[in-house]
Structure 1
Amino acid sequence: MHSTGTVSAPASAETHAVPGGDPHGDTGRHARRFGLPVATALVMGNIIGGGIFLLPASIAPYGTVSLVAFGVLTVGAIALALVFGRLAARDPRTGGPYVYAREAFGDFAGFLAAWSYWITTWVSNAALAVAAVGYLDVLIPVGGHAWTACLAALALQWLPALANFAGTRYVGAVQLVSTVLKFVPLLLVAVGGLFFFDPSRLGPFNSSGHGAIGAVSASAALLLFSYLGVESAAVSAGEVENARRNVGRATVIGTAGAALVYLLGTLSVFGTVAHDRLVNSTAPFSDAVNTMFGGTWGGTAVALAALVSMTGCLNGWTLLSAQTPYAAAKDGLFPAAFARRRRGVPTVGVAVTVVLSSLLTAYNYLSGSGKVFEVLVLVTTFTATVPYLLATAAQLFHLVSGDRPVDRGRLLRDSVITAVAAVFSIWLMAGAGYAAVYQGVLFLFVGILVYAVMAARRRRQETAAVTAGE
């Protein structure tokens, strides 16, 4: 690994995880490694969460041109998934983009990846909770007042956090069950909705007021949120059995499966819910089922499934939110408290993350913003793109440097995939808009100050160690 100003060999995979338990000695029954099915469920469960259930309404104002954005986004997401798979095969440690950026470029790049990704996770948790409240309101009226909606969103964040405190054994169980349960209603809408498809409900092709390319970019910036989670298995690689093989497989299978459900589901919602109604919908999948079958029973069932899905997604994202700071803390780039683990879970990271996401949720509800979900989503677009781009740059670095022998065919294939992932990441950053980039840069600048403090402390400790040894 890189230390401040020096380069040394990468640590082994066991640096961050020990098979069967906590690398710090916690090998109790609550800590368990994930196999391929659970790792795939983690990817799909984290990708298919609040995005699939709320984003059709968020992108409806752009028109059906947003479906083109979905297609382009899917190609880029799969390219990114393949890049993560290759990087995880090279370095199967917990931390994902943080590990890859630091190994290739040093401490500062690694810190930026970890800091940006950490911001992405807790802001995403706040956005997911806001999306879940829209479906909870179908079952129990909570959206009439800002304070009741805020309390509901806070409860939806703290319940998964409690499951994480119970240990990785329960995290994996909740993730697997919620992923299986969510697919029944999703497939019902994605496939069944095609039989009720009415082209007259689609609305205009481009209603954004911008050119087609600008509309595609702008809608893709919102849609990126629906693909956050593609890196889930890579970030938790230290907890995945046979990570060199299974992380890549879980990432690609999970991303491709989620993409298929996304494309069919969004197309079905667009074709079953009238455009003018969809633009103002807070539960578009419930509205689609009600249109398909009449009455409200179907929409109520879908709302319940959406809550199960989003709770499972929050469960997985809460774990991911603590994994990257844990890896960075082990290397001295985050405060040491983030490296504490209990029952296989970095509990301090979980606690800090849920508190920050709760404060952000409360601020956005009580400030009177009418577009809470969209504001939070666009912030995550920028902060997520930073570690994605750094990870892609790390793969490009390895390909160009030729530090490992590969055949010409694989080199060409990996180069094309990496180029697509790089263009995809830069395009998303551009499409996020000036406001999102501005807010995201402010978050990064705060991180630079944190890095300065942590780097100074490490330098002081190293100096003290050298002095003591003389």
Structure 2
Amino acid sequence: MHDSGTASQTAPAGEAEQQDGSRHARKFGLPVATALVIGNIVGGGIFLLPASVAPYGTISLVAFGVLTVGAIALALVFGRLANRHPQTGGPYVYAREAFGDFAGFLAAWSYWITTWVSNAALAVAAVGYLDVLLPLHGSTFWTIVAALLCQWLPALANLAGTRYVGAVQLVSTVLKFAPLLLVAVGGLFFFQADNLGPFRATDDSAIGAISASAAILLFSYLGVESASVSAGEVRDPQRNVGRATVIGTGLAALLYLLSTVSVFGTVAHDRLVNSTAPFSDAVNAMFGGTWGGTAVAVAALVSMIGALNGWTLLSAQTPYAAAKDGLFPAAFTRKRRGIPTFGVIVAVTLASLLTIYNYTAGSTGVFETLVLVTTFTATVPYLLATAAQIYFLLSGQGDKVRPGRLARDMILALAAFGFSMWLVGGAGYAAVYQGVLFLFVGVLVYAWMAARKRRVAA
């Protein structure tokens, strides 16, 4: 079922979302909303994570545990907030409701940057796995073409309508879970304790080793807000958004932890430290042969195309909600078949230009810095959203919070806020510096939009 009619460009974000009457616009149910969360959290990073944290030793599993607790606390807070404000926009809606237009704009602006820069990063990573199947490394032109196809195919699925977005997301999530579960669960049967290596493999203190490995793992948990950002497209959002967020985050966290433990136990530590394809090495160690590289490449491609499909949707939803309130250009409110088409096109175009720049300029250092910036820019709306929940609870506006649950919700909100602050610290000084510059550019855009909005009102 879905609502009929078209979304009004002047309606405030607080009103119920409406969809056009096209058969291509369809509300997401709980399975698709959950798949959206899982698909956006589990991108391509999981295929490199075990090797990335192996140099710190098995103490990195402790960092995984801490991050998982923080991510689930954040997911629970988003579920509570979505129950209170079940509209498209997620953190933008919560921040604006609590602190006004400027805070809402900062949440929307920083989250928008996160989405399209992440899309560029995912496309480049996808090409790396595609190179295993179809050697492209000898041609810059075909490498660029492949990267652009990885971005535009999910964008076309989005432009076709929410019906196709949901279908792609559900299928890609199921397909990528199969090989990941093979390693995560199957690897436990081939587990050898001798492969684990030392508990702490560096000279850092225990706290230092945990923090250092956590910094690498931080980007892996971005996406817990996915269902809340698309709440307007979810059927019965007050019931399903919270459930999808918690279930999706929990399943992604379980998959991360099991697969890392399995790889640690099947690949010798000294080999894992230098591995560029840890899942391939794990499959080869489990079953013999060298077919693991091809299988993992296919799984990684499916995983990242699914993530690109979901992130492309999110890249249009937040500016759509902000544009309805006059904080983004009105063009972002253009919607067709349940999808903000202008936002999709702008985001994929910016991501494409960034990708082309990366390959033609050969400045991978700059590109990697921009990817790290996304860790910081994503935490800005996280901090504002969790602060909004704290504000609602302290100001007595938690009208949908039962008295007996007030203390529990406050503890969750404080834990999620602390987790978000840890994310900022883990992004590193350079990323925070670059991210603040991005935010200052946004302040100029806000000044222009706020002045224009005031003139229209006058």
- The list of structure 1 runs, each at least 4 consecutive aligned residues, that deviate by more than 6 angstroms after superposition, is none
Aligned pair partner of 1:391 in 343, 367, 385: 385
Aligned pair partner of 1:441 in 436, 454, 457: 436
Q: What is the deviation of 1:189?
A: 0.4
Q: What is the deviation of 1:366?
A: 3.6
Stretch of structure 1 that moved more, 195-204 or 180-189: 195-204
Stretch of structure 1 that moved more, 409-418 or 128-137: 128-137
Q: What is the deviation of 1:148?
A: 4.4
Separation in structure 2 between the aligned mates of residue 370 and residue 90 of structure 1, nearest angstrom = 43
Hey, what does 2:129 align to over in structure 1?
Answer: 135
8 Å Cα contact 1:98-1:111 kept in structure 2: yes
Q: What is the deviation of 1:269?
A: 1.9
Separation in structure 2 between the aligned mates of residue 358 and residue 269 of structure 1, nearest angstrom = 34
Hey, what does 1:420 align to over in structure 2?
Answer: 415
Separation in structure 2 between the aligned mates of residue 167 and residue 280 of structure 1, nearest angstrom = 43
Separation in structure 2 between the aligned mates of residue 421 and residue 152 of structure 1, nearest angstrom = 38
Q: Is residue 2:359 matched to residue 1:365?
A: yes
Letter in 2 for 1:355: T
Pick closer, same or farther for the CA change 1:197–1:367 going to 2, 3 Å.
farther
Pick closer, same or farther for the CA change 1:318–1:76 going to 2, 3 Å.
same
8 Å Cα contact 1:222-1:374 kept in structure 2: no
Structure 2 residue matching 1:28: 3-state secondary structure = coil
Q: What is the deviation of 1:423?
A: 0.7
Structure 2 residue matching 1:30: 3-state secondary structure = coil
Separation in structure 2 between the aligned mates of residue 68 and residue 145 of structure 1, nearest angstrom = 42
- Residue deviations 1:172-217, cap 9 Å, x none? 0001111111111111000111222334444444456543323322
Letter in 2 for 1:419: L
Query: What does 1:171-320 align with in structure 2 at a 5 Å threshold?
Result: 171-207=165-201, 210-320=204-314
- Residue deviations 1:206-258, cap 9 Å, x none? 45654332332233233222111111110000001110111001100111111
Q: What is the deviation of 1:146?
A: 5.3
- Residue deviations 1:94-114, cap 9 Å, x none? 000000000000000000000
Pick closer, same or farther for the CA change 1:372–1:154 going to 2, 3 Å.
farther
Give the % identical residues.
78
Q: Is residue 2:420 matched to residue 1:460?
A: no
Q: What is the deviation of 1:309?
A: 1.4
Pick closer, same or farther for the CA change 1:356–1:377 going to 2, 3 Å.
same
Aligned pair partner of 2:147 in 131, 135, 153: 153
Structure 1 residue matching 2:22: 3-state secondary structure = coil
Query: What does 1:399-410 align with in structure 2 at a 5 Å threshold?
Result: 399-405=393-399, 406-410=401-405
Aligned-residue Cα RMSD (Å) equals 2.1
Pick closer, same or farther for the CA change 1:441–1:130 going to 2, 3 Å.
same
Structure 1 residue matching 2:328: 3-state secondary structure = coil
Hey, what does 2:325 align to over in structure 1?
Answer: 331
Separation in structure 2 between the aligned mates of residue 161 and residue 453 of structure 1, nearest angstrom = 29
8 Å Cα contact 2:12-2:324 kept in structure 1: no
Hey, what does 1:113 align to over in structure 2?
Answer: 107
Pick closer, same or farther for the CA change 1:142–1:458 going to 2, 3 Å.
same
Structure 2 residue matching 1:158: 3-state secondary structure = helix
Separation in structure 1 between the aligned mates of residue 59 and residue 147 of structure 2, nearest angstrom = 31
TM-score (norm 2): 0.92
Structure 1 residue matching 2:135: 3-state secondary structure = coil
- Residue deviations 1:361-420, cap 9 Å, x none? 233334435568854442111011100010000000011001245444301110111111
Hey, what does 2:406 align to over in structure 1?
Answer: 411
Pick closer, same or farther for the CA change 1:351–1:57 going to 2, 3 Å.
farther
Separation in structure 1 between the aligned mates of residue 390 and residue 282 of structure 2, nearest angstrom = 43
Pick closer, same or farther for the CA change 1:442–1:59 going to 2, 3 Å.
farther
Separation in structure 2 between the aligned mates of residue 205 and residue 398 of structure 1, nearest angstrom = 43
Q: Is residue 2:337 matched to residue 1:343?
A: yes
For structure 1, the residue ranges without an aligned partner over 5 or more in a row are 1-8, 464-470
Q: What is the deviation of 1:137?
A: 2.1
Separation in structure 2 between the aligned mates of residue 45 and residue 448 of structure 1, nearest angstrom = 32
Separation in structure 1 between the aligned mates of residue 454 and residue 360 of structure 2, nearest angstrom = 43
Separation in structure 2 between the aligned mates of residue 10 and residue 326 of structure 1, nearest angstrom = 11
Separation in structure 2 between the aligned mates of residue 316 and residue 328 of structure 1, nearest angstrom = 19
- Residue deviations 1:10-41, cap 9 Å, x none? 85442xx22xx2xxxx3211111011111111
Query: What does 1:98-109 align with in structure 2 at a 5 Å threshold?
Result: 98-109=92-103
Pick closer, same or farther for the CA change 1:273–1:128 going to 2, 3 Å.
farther
Pick closer, same or farther for the CA change 1:86–1:111 going to 2, 3 Å.
same
Hey, what does 1:450 align to over in structure 2?
Answer: 445
Letter in 2 for 1:316: G
8 Å Cα contact 1:164-1:170 kept in structure 2: yes
Letter in 2 for 1:269: V
Q: What is the deviation of 1:319?
A: 0.5
Letter in 2 for 1:452: A
Letter in 2 for 1:418: A
TM-score (norm 1): 0.90
Counting matched residue pairs gives: 447
Letter in 1 for 2:455: R
8 Å Cα contact 1:131-1:373 kept in structure 2: no
Structure 1 residue matching 2:223: 3-state secondary structure = coil
8 Å Cα contact 2:89-2:228 kept in structure 1: yes
Aligned pair partner of 2:68 in 59, 67, 74: 74
